[in-house]
Structure 1
Amino acid sequence: MNHISNIALITGANKGIGFAIARQLGASGHMVWLGCRDMSRGEVAARSLRDEGIDARAVQLNVTDDTSVTKAAKTIEQAVGHVDVLVNNAGLMFAEAPSLSSESIDEIKQMFDANVFGVLRVTQAFLPLLRKSSAARIVMMSSGLSSLSDALDMRSETWSVGFGGYCASKTALNMLTVKLAKELDREGIKVNAVDPGLTSTDMTGNGPGHSAEEGARPAVALANIHAYGPSAGFFACSTTGDLVSKPW
């Protein structure tokens, strides 16, 4: 079994913010594993990173499927033995419903399965590998729309935003972030959530927003956080690239 330092797994990594996170972590010296539902797309993405000189590999990983997640953990364990960074990036979002009172319960269930249960499923499966690291980091891809404080603030840019089911799923993810951070603190495993900001990706219909490369920055910063860095926090990046705390 090989023992290679700086190993990162990023879920939902064949495109968008996940791919940008993989590229930036790879450029900073990590071996990156791209967790992808579609292995053929994952291989194409990994190959493009290898062409840039990044040590990248694809692994089939559907966060909503127990068997897929278990097999991915075994594959990575057999290949490299441990994981230093887990970025729970994979997520699901549907088009905005006219109102929460008319929003599809089935769609909300699907979003919770990917955005909440899927994140915990992956984290539980990979914790044994993270515990083999000397400085493990877990990063949760949340959203500015998760903030209860902002949702109640008429001055906030999210005051009038709908997407009730999606917002609720990310708020639930924030609570899991805090609970995991408290639980894993004594083991030196840092767990934080990030707000990538409004990012132009397939999930957002490639509409307004900054680039995936910019949206990836807070996750990459927290993946590389030092031993005295924060845990149980919610962060974004300022225009200068510095981490800034977000209200829960």
Structure 2
Amino acid sequence: MKITGIIPARYASTRFPGKPLVDIGGKSMVMRVFEQVSKVEKISEVIVATDNEDIYDHVNSNGGKAVMTREDHPSGTDRCYEALTKCTGDFDFAINIQGDEPFLKPEQISSLCDALTPEVEIGSMMKKIKDRKDLFNPNVVKVVVSEPGNALYFSRQTIPYQRNSKEAVWMDNYDYFKHLGIYAYRSDILKKLASLPEGKLEKAESLEQLRWLEKGYSIKMVETDIESIGIDTPEDLEEVKKKLNL
């Protein structure tokens, strides 16, 4: 099984322009992610997929590998597919790793790699919700899975809804899971996903993965206990620096 790790890195983030290049304790965010993913033994090659020459030059001049991709990709999935076509050699799977999680744990990616088989079309990750605030936060995406471990649905709402119980005891009755935005695509499936039009469910919830479910693709979910630390805004960055004394 040959796997590549792809890190989409756009410069023009609405909430945090230039985010991949910000300094975190003497190292850029994008290089922190690159180095963490490079520690995963089952990943043969790691590349940064960017639309910006400064990011491209920065990664390549600091021991990483970057490829230039189009500016007009509507999603990270589309950018991943273009990057995959520029990889050297053939890969069975491509893993899309978010470029704004500089403290990503290699063992988290390893557990996703372990779950990949020729039968898996798409793989992703989930973590048990332990904070009640997350349960009712629409920015925390929830997922319900089948007994074999495939995603049944993703939603910003709290799912499943427990009709005969009060909300205060929902977490006592049922294990709820939040979705972590790491995806592993089988290479032939990624090519198909890149050509799909926006779906009705995706438009309603603003969740790209619903496009794939609506078209009949399966998403294998892998549970993790590791908490991700995402950085979406300059305020997030400052908060993380304070917590980690950086």
* TM-score using structure 1 length: 0.37
Point out which structure has higher relative CO (alpha carbons under 8 A, 6+ apart).
Answer: 2
Structure having the higher helix fraction is: 1
Structure having the higher strand fraction is: 2
**Larger Rg, first or second structure (1 or 2):** 2
